[in-house]
Amino acid sequence: MDTRENTAHADVLVIGFGKGGKTVAAKMGRLGRRVILVEQSNRMYGGTCPNIGCVPTKALVHHAGKPRMSDSPQEHYEHAVREVQALTSTFRAGNFDSLNSADNVTVVTGHAAFIDPHTVGVTAGGDRLTITAETILINTGAEPIIPDIPGLRASKRTLTSTDLIQTTTLPERLTILGGGYQGVEFASIYRRFGSQVTVFEAAARILGREDDEAAAVVADILRNEGVEIITGARVTEVRDRDAVTIVTYEKDGREHTLETDAVLAASGRAPVTRGLGLDAAGVRTTERGAIEVDEHLRTSRPHIYALGDVRGGRQHTYLSLDDSRIVLDQLIGEGRRSTADRVAIPHTVFMTPPLAAVGLTEKEAREAGHRVKIASEAVADIVAMPRAYIVEETRGLMKFVIDADTDEILGAVLLSVDAQELINTVALAMRHGVKAAELRDAVYTHPTSTEAFNEVLGTIVRSDART
C-alpha cells in the first residue's frame, strides 16, 4: 500500500510483526478478510525470533561449537556473525514476502499509535496513514532492559543482546550483568568463541528459577570452560576510562573493580508499549507495563487483543504461536480455547549442553505439598545413553520429580545433549497423564538420547513422605 493514502479500513489490524500476529494475519487473509499489518522497522519483519532472538542466537551457538582451525578467534567470530546475518536476512525477506504477497493482506512499514479505540495513525517519514479496524491485535513484543546503574546507559561499551549479536568485533573481555537465562546463554556462547567472560549475579546463585541441583551443575560447566561467575555481587557503577570500561561492584561488604571491553545488560526484556497511545484506546496495562489481558487475550477493550511478549508472562515464540490459536478461536471458532488450557509448557536455555525444564522443581513440588520421589543421574553415568559418548558430550544430568503416590511426573530438568528435543517428549507425557513408569518402560530407538529415560526413571535416588 502507498502510505501517502490518507485513510484505510481493515477487518483486522495487526500492530507488530511477531509470531502470533503474523499467524492470525495470514489465516484471516486466506479467509477473505481485509488485513493490514503494521511493523515500524524493516529490520523486524517476522518479529524478534528470526531477527534478534531465537534464530541468530542459536545459530551463534552452532558456530561457536565449530571453530575454523585456520582462523583466529576474531576471524572465526566475524565469519559466524556474517553467516548469521545472511540467515536472518533470508528469514526476514521470507516473512515479508509471505504476508505482503498474500491475498487480502497488506504490510505497512511505520510507527503505529492509537487515536481512539478503533483508529490507529501510522507515520513513516512525512507520510501519515489513518487506519480504522473492527478488530485490532497488538503484537509489539519486548525490548532489552538496561538496569539503572550509574554510568551504565552512558557507557559506549554497554550492549544489549541485540547490539552484541550484530557486532562483528569479538570482545576480548565480556562482562555480563545478570545470571539468568540470557546471561547464561551468552556466557556459554562467547566463552566458546574465545572471550574472557565474567558473569555478575546479585543473588546467591545463577538461574534462580531453576532446580538447585541443575543450576549448580550449570555453574560447574561454565566455570570449567573458563567463565568467571561472581554471585552475591551488586554492581554499583560502570565508567568508561580511555580504552577500557571499569565495572565497580560490592561483594561481601567490600568494593572491587574489573576492567572490561564490553558490558552486556542481561536483565531481561520489558513489553514494548511506549508510544502506542494505549490511553487513547482505553487499553489498560499492568504494574510491570504489560498489556492487561484476560484468559482469551482480550484487553480492557473487547475488540483489541494482545499477543506475545507484550501481554506479559513468559516470553517464548511458541507461546506467541499458541496465542494466535486462542485469538483465532475467538474470531472464527467456538471461543473455548484459553490460556488456562496450557499445561506443562517447557523451556530451554541453549547453553552447551542445553538445559531444558518443564513443570515443578523439586523444591516447588515439596512446597506444594506433594510426597515426592526423585529420579536423577549424571549424564556421564547413564549407561543407556551411548549417544552422549558418540558425540563426546557427557556433561550434565537428568532429573525427574515424581509424585510418590500417583507416579505422576511433576517436573523434569534435563541438562544434556539433545535436551531441547527430549523435553518435548516429557512435556507431552505430562499433558496426557503418562506415568513415570510408562515413560520408563517405553521402547525408544537406539542409539538415541531418549532411551536414557529407560535408565534414569528406573533409578529412584531419593524418596520421602514429607507433605
Radius of gyration over every alpha carbon of the chain, rounded to an integer in angstroms: 24
- Going through 40-148 in order, the beta strands assigned E by DSSP cover 105-109, 111-116, 119-124, 127-138, 142-144
Is 275 labelled a binding residue? no
Rounded to the nearest 10°, the torsion over CA 276, 279, 283, 288 is: 80
Quick one: 74 exposed, middle or buried, by C-beta within 10 A (0-12, 13-18, 19+)? Answer: middle
Rounded to the nearest 10°, the torsion over CA 441, 445, 447, 453 is: -30
Is 252 labelled a binding residue? no
pTM (2 d.p.):
0.93
Is 268 labelled a binding residue? yes
Q: What is the pLDDT of residue 5?
A: 53
Asked if 7-143+270-341 and 158-267 have one fold, the answer is yes
Which CATH architecture is the domain 158-267 placed in?
3-Layer(bba) Sandwich (3.50)
- Strands 158-159, 119-124: parallel, antiparallel or unpaired by DSSP? unpaired
Is 220 labelled a binding residue? no
d(CA 349, CA 354): 6
Q: Which amino acid does the sequence have at 392? A: E
Is 184 labelled a binding residue? yes
Q: What is the pLDDT of residue 461?
A: 75
Determine how many CB atoms are found less than 10 A away from the CB of residue 113: 15
d(CA 248, CA 149): 10
Long-range contacts of 363-366 (CB under 8 A, 24+ apart): 363/211, 363/212, 364/411, 365/401, 365/403, 365/410, 365/411, 366/466
CATH class of 347-463: alpha beta
Residues in the chain: 467
Is 364 labelled a binding residue? no
Is 455 labelled a binding residue? no
Is 77 labelled a binding residue? no
Q: What is the pLDDT of residue 68?
A: 77
Q: What is the pLDDT along the chain (467 residues), one digit of tens a residue?
A: 444 558 999 999 999 999 999 999 999 999 999 999 999 999 999 999 999 999 999 999 999 998 878 889 999 999 999 999 999 999 999 999 999 888 899 999 999 999 999 999 999 988 999 999 999 999 999 999 999 999 999 999 999 999 999 999 999 999 999 999 999 999 999 999 999 999 999 999 999 999 999 999 999 999 999 999 999 999 999 999 999 999 999 999 999 999 999 999 999 999 999 999 999 999 999 998 999 999 999 999 999 999 999 999 999 999 999 999 999 999 999 999 999 999 999 999 999 999 999 999 999 999 999 999 999 999 999 999 999 999 999 999 999 999 999 999 999 999 999 999 999 999 999 999 999 999 999 999 999 999 999 999 999 877 774 43
CATH class of 7-143+270-341: alpha beta
d(CA 253, CA 231): 13
Q: Which residues are catalytic?
A: 446
d(CA 145, CA 177): 11
| Domain residue ranges of the chain, discontinuous segments joined by + | 7-143+270-341, 158-267, 347-463
